[in-house]
Amino acid sequence: MAALVLVGTKMSIADDLNTIPTAAPIDTDSAGRLGDVATHAVIRLLCPERNTVGTGFLHKSGNLITADHVVRSCAKPMMVLPNGALSPVATIVSDQDHDLALVKPSTSLTQKPLEISGADDIKIGTQVSTWGFPGGYNGLSPMLSVGYLAGIDAYKTDSGAVIRKWVVNAAFNGGNSGGPLIHIESGTVFGVVSSKLAPISADAAAILKILEGQQFGMQYEGKKPDGTTVKFSEAQLVGVVL
């Protein structure tokens, strides 16, 4: 399951504690109806020095919307063009609390952008989809994943703000971050993929973080998205896999 930042909602925390509106799933096979647009408007993003992959999607401004953590602290973020070539992008503005960022491509993108929804009454049970580039998938066109809004989560950021996220019952993985959350019936975007919901304790999460930062012990080599070599320890490998 994956937690996603909701865009454009007016529901308050108090509403979460009272009645939460729900919707029955639609009976349709239109999950892929936006594919002719999404396969061109959804772009793979890379951070070569971190060896990480994410997703972004084209806005009508000509810029890309993505998750803040996909490009934050990345010295030279890149996008992968439809022909497989790499092209730099630059962050214009970001919101770390909501994990959102707007980046400017150095190469103009002329394809049709995705439309942002103006709705603020999205209900639990609504069928949704996303297109993106999950880790381990090397295709040039984004991969479709379909699910439904399953609940609402909340967490406190380092700044003290309380942020709510939709929880989506779908097969999202690392690399989907920054992808569009699409309302299947309207074909409009109302959220951005932010993180995978890991049902583990805080202690287990802390241990995994320690493993991923452990640079000593048996060493392995791998390839970054740009083809250069990267080294990582056995502990880091275990942490990433888990």
With pLDDT > 90 as the criterion, what percentage of the chain qualifies? 45
Question: For 69-87, how does the pLDDT look when each residue is reduced to its tens digit (9 = 90+)?
Answer: 999 999 999 999 988 899 9
Question: For 99-138, how does the pLDDT look when each residue is reduced to its tens digit (9 = 90+)?
Answer: 999 999 999 999 999 999 988 888 899 999 999 999 888 8
- Average pLDDT for residues 207-214, to the nearest whole number? 70
CATH class name, domain 2-196: mainly beta
Give the three-class secondary structure for 19: coil
User: How confident is the prediction for the chain on average, in pLDDT?
Assistant: 81
Strand partners, 4: 166, 193
Q: Name 84's Cβ contacts closer than 8 Å, sequence gap at least 6.
A: 140
Using an 8 Å Cβ cutoff, are 9 and 163 in contact? no
Domain boundaries, the chain: 2-196, 202-241
**pLDDT computed for residue 201 by the predictor:** 63
- Residue 39 in this model has a pLDDT that exceeds 60: yes
**pLDDT computed for residue 120 by the predictor:** 80
